[in-house]
Amino acid sequence: MRTFSELYKMICSDNDTFQDINISSVMLPNSAGNSLDRALHANYEVRVLHYSPSRTVVDIGEVFLWLMAVGTILSASFWSAWTAKEEHYRRMKQERPELSGDVPAEAGDSEKMDTDDVIDINVLSAVLFVLLASAFLLLLYFYMSVWFMRVLIILFCIGGFEGLQTCLVSLLCRWFPKAGATFINVPLVGSVSLLALCLSPICLAFSVVWGVFRLNSYAWIGQDILGIALILTVLQIVRLPNIKVSTVLLSCAFLYDVFWVFISPTFFHESVMIVVARGDKSDGEAIPMLLKVPRLYDPWGGYSIIGFGDILLPGLLVSFCLRYDWTARKSLYRGYFLWSTVGYGLGLFLTYVALNAMNGSGQPALLYIVPCTLGTVLLLGWWRGELRSLWFKGDSLDQFSFDSSGRSPTD
């Protein structure tokens, strides 16, 4: 859960012992080093111009990554809210059969996510999640190796396959409702929709191809596609029931991010989060649980990256805000979804400002995102006198109000 430019610089930290060394050193690309070596062995005259190119203030890669993160949260929020509304329509059809003719036909006609598959986070699970994340981070730090990285890549491919399949099925069942509603019993798997069965080979092939060619220069595209699909799917399965749980989860995540980026060097002599994210102990191959975009106009090269946690955890809050607004029949400006989304965009923007101000040094994105999102929602709720409702009631489907036709006043 950090955001930084993936740069490798020859620097010393403030706590390192200074050595008065006057030998000049230079870092070259492998191709340039090979050319220099061949020239020297051929007894050619070689001249080296030593200079330090300046970096651009804002790279277009950072802008694109910002748009990807905000767009992912917006898509997940609307998908989550629409799924919740359709589930309520299906409940109405079961409890009030006389309204079945007035309920939208698309509700329940195609493959939907069952409420049994939805996980509501509670306070205890929010705290345990952060503790387990810390334990897993330490496991990666102490035991990271090439084989461990391959295990993570395999797990990412499996998760990306599931996420990509879920997203495509949910999208295409709008145009192919019969294929989405037709189920086939598959040995060892169970009942699977015809649409999912047709899409599985494509999604599997995409995941496998990325895993094989993940080190190529263009592999970041496939990684981002699989990562976004996985994030969208997780945000449909995991939900926040109210602001109380959200406050506990994001506050713990805030402390987690700050500790492992800024405070961990006090105990481990290096930032545990940054070491794990860069893959320093796995031959430089970074963990795949992040979105990355190459820095197009940076002479130093590298990638701008953002961890899944910097999108998932705030995304849970933004999704909750949209469901709450639909539940409470709030307009766009008088609700909380718009302002939490603006807060996320602002927090991520401030992260990149700090990133450039610190010359590429790793930044805990949640340090800026949590106050801008959770702080905004809490402040608005207190100012409007609705904090108690946000804190305890949340987005319960039972709060939906419908008229005699079975439709919400917002329809």
Q: Report the alpha-carbon angle 74-137-269, nearest 5.
A: 120
DSSP assignments along 295-317, one per residue = -TT-TT--EEEEETHHHHHHHHH
Reported for 71-74, long-range contacts at CB under 8 A and 24+ positions apart, including other chains, are: 72/228, 72/231, 72/232, 72/311, 72/315, 73/311, 73/314, 73/315, 73/318, 73/319, 73/341, 73/344, 74/318, 74/341
Give the catalytic positions in this structure: 257, 310
Residue 87's closest CA among 70, 68, 106, 69?
106
Rounded CA separation 234/229 (Å): 9
The residue type found at 325 is: D
Rounded CA separation 77/306 (Å): 19
The strand pair at 3-5 and 303-307 is best described as: antiparallel
Q: Is 91 exposed, middle or buried (0-12, 13-18, 19+ CB in 10 A)?
A: middle
